[in-house]
């Protein structure tokens, strides 16, 4: 085989934010915006990587991506090199490669362009080195990409994005339980119910790889809360454990994580009952918790959520970590335009940059095509 093409989607997290690295629950779905990697194995140790986003590209050798050399690489190259490094660590026979990356995902918008890039690279590489591509193997690939992002890139993210990019299915959400990293496909018949999800990208980019950023700080606070309770991760706490946390900030962070996992369970119950108003109300409650207890929102995200709900959305929340990026609103298909226009006017009145809107439904996870 000379070349392969892998396509991996971004994602929207319907509910369950900041639960992944805390051992809790989340329910993301893959969206129909993808990153495509065309990969060809070379007969030597050269690496050539091109991306439509960074047209200068990068050229080097396998030795240049060694773990202790990573600081010398351009930021974006680390997401690719990290996957190759993690694959080598796992014993994959990585040779020289030509990689061409092309994406229709916005970067830093909270739709997980980073995981889409990693997952397209890992799937292409897996095919080139003849790994099986079944769901169990894909789950292991997700772990490898998460390792690339946390250890090699240094972005302390939790693994949700990679799992759903590799395992997503049309018209399904992926329930992930980070207590044991088990996954379950959950039917999400939004289309049948005449509903859709409006993604409102506030344009305020979030840099998750920033070691001093809000995301990394929240992670430390959650770890500290878990340590005070003698737990490995705060998502494993019971609600009545929280009163034992003396630090007000740690208690609020923990309360978000524990209540957010319950909301994921409540959404699954409401979806099964076809009670979409209840689903919407739970999404909005999630935003309130992310804004208050977890302090992960921004004025732009709060305005998008409040305006969407006022304009008839069943519910709305920030998605994918916060500190900028996107919010989602659960809307009737025929009410989406009204919600979008209301959010645009509210942003104009507030003097904020106009958000970019997209309508999405749960789409397929990563796919592979062999041959050029």
Angle between helices 113-128 and 135-147 (to 10 degrees): 120
114 binds Mg ion (CB under 5 A): yes
Do 23 and 229 form a contact (C-beta atoms < 8 A)?
A: no
For residue 232, count other CB atoms closer than 10 A to its CB. 12
Stretch that binds Mg ion, among 94-102, 105-113, 181-189, 357-365 (CB under 5 A): 105-113
Helices 135-147 & 160-167 angle (0-180, nearest 10): 150
* Tokens 């799937």 found at: 123
Residues 6+ apart with CB under 8 A from 288: none
To the nearest whole angstrom, how small is the minimum distance from the Cβ of residue 113 to ligand ADP?
3
Q: Which stretch, 12-20, 71-79, 185-193, 275-283, contacts ligand ADP (CB under 6 A)?
A: 71-79
- Residue 76 interacts with ligand ADP (CB under 6 A): yes or no: yes
- Judged by CB under 6 A, the stretch of 194-202, 203-211, 261-269, 352-360 that binds ligand ADP is 203-211
Q: Which of residues 135-174 bind ligand ADP (CB under 6 A)?
A: 155
**Alpha-carbon span 32 to 30, nearest angstrom:** 7
Instruction: Provide, rounded to whole angstroms, the least separation between the CB of residue 61 and ligand ADP.
Output: 20
Work out whether 235 is an interface residue with ligand ADP (CB under 6 A). Answer: no
Kindly determine how many residues on this chain lie close enough to bind ligand ADP according to the rule CB under 6 A.
22
Question: Judging by DSSP bridges, how do beta strands 46-51 and 97-103 pair with one another?
Answer: parallel
* End-to-end C-alpha distance for the chain, whole angstroms: 9
> Among 5, 13, 114, 196, which residue interacts with ligand ADP (rule: CB under 6 A)?
114
Q: How far apart are CA 12 and CA 49, in angstroms?
A: 27
Residues 271-330 touching ligand ADP, rule: CB under 6 A, are none
CA count, 13 A, side-chain hemisphere, 26:
29
Contact region with Mg ion (CB under 5 A), list: 112-120, 138-146, 215-223, 292-300: 112-120
Q: Which is nearer to Mg ion, 14 or 279 (CB)?
A: 14
User: What positions carry a catalytic annotation?
Assistant: 161
Q: Which does 35 bind (CB under 5 to 8 A by kind): ligand ADP, Mg ion, none?
A: ligand ADP
Binding mask 14-53 for ligand ADP (x = CB under 6 A): ---------------------x---------------x-x
**266 binding ligand ADP? (CB under 6 A):** no
Pairing between strand 182-187 and 172-177?
antiparallel
Which one, of 194, 193, 196, 191, lies nearest residue 331 by Cα? Answer: 196
The residue (of 36 and 112) whose beta carbon lies closer to Mg ion is: 112
Report the C-alpha gap between 155 and 107 in whole angstroms: 15
Does 79 bind ligand ADP (CB under 6 A)? Our answer is yes
- Which ranges in 69-213 belong to alpha helices (H)? 75-89, 113-128, 135-147, 160-167
- Asked if 160 contacts 176 with a C-beta cutoff of 8 angstroms, the reply is yes
Residue 48 contacts residue 57 (beta carbons within 8 Å)? yes
C-beta closer to ligand ADP: residue 51 or 289: 51
Applying CB under 6 A, the residues found at the interface with ligand ADP are: 35, 51, 53-54, 75-76, 79, 101, 103, 107-114, 117, 155, 207-209
By CB under 5 A, name the binding residues for Mg ion. Answer: 112, 114
């Amino acid at each position: 085989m000379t070349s392969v093409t892998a396509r991996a989607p971004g994602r929207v997290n319907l509910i369950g934010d900041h639960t992944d690295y805390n051992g809790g629950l989340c329910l993301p779905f893959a969206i129909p915006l993808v990153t495509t990697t065309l990969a060809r194995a070379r007969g030597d140790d050269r690496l050539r990587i091109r991306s439509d986003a960074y047209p200068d590209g990068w050229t080097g050798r396998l030795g240049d991506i060694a773990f202790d050399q990573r600081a010398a690489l351009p930021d974006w190259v680390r997401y690719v090199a990290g996957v190759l490094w993690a694959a080598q660590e796992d014993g994959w026979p990585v040779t020289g490669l030509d990689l061409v990356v092309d994406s229709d995902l916005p970067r830093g918008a909270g739709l997980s362009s980073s995981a889409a890039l990693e997952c397209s690279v890992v799937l292409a590489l897996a095919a080139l080195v003849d790994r099986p591509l079944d769901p169990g193997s894909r789950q292991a690939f997700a772990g490898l990409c998460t390792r690339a992002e946390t250890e090699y890139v240094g972005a302390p993210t939790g693994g949700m994005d990679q799992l759903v990019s590799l395992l997503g299915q049309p018209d399904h959400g992926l329930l992930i339980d980070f207590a044991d990293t088990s996954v379950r496909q959950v039917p999400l018949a939004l289309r049948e119910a005449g509903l859709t999800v409006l993604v409102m990208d506030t344009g305020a980019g979030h840099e998750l790889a920033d070691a001093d950023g809000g995301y990394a700080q929240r992670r430390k606070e959650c770890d500290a809360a878990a340590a005070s309770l003698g737990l490995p991760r705060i998502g494993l706490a019971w609600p009545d454990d929280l009163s034992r946390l003396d630090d007000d900030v740690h208690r609020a962070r923990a309360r978000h994580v524990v209540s957010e996992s319950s909301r994921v369970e409540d959404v699954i119950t409401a979806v099964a009952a076809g009670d979409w108003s209840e689903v919407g109300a739970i999404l909005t409650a999630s935003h309130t918790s992310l804004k208050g207890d977890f302090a992960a929102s921004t004025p732009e995200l709060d305005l998008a959520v409040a305006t969407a709900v006022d304009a008839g959305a069943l519910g709305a929340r920030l998605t994918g970590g916060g500190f900028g990026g996107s919010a989602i609103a659960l809307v009737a298909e025929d009410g989406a335009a009204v919600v979008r226009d209301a959010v645009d006017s509210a942003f104009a009145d507030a003097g904020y940059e106009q958000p970019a809107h997209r309508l999405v439904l749960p789409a397929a996870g990563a796919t592979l095509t062999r041959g050029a």
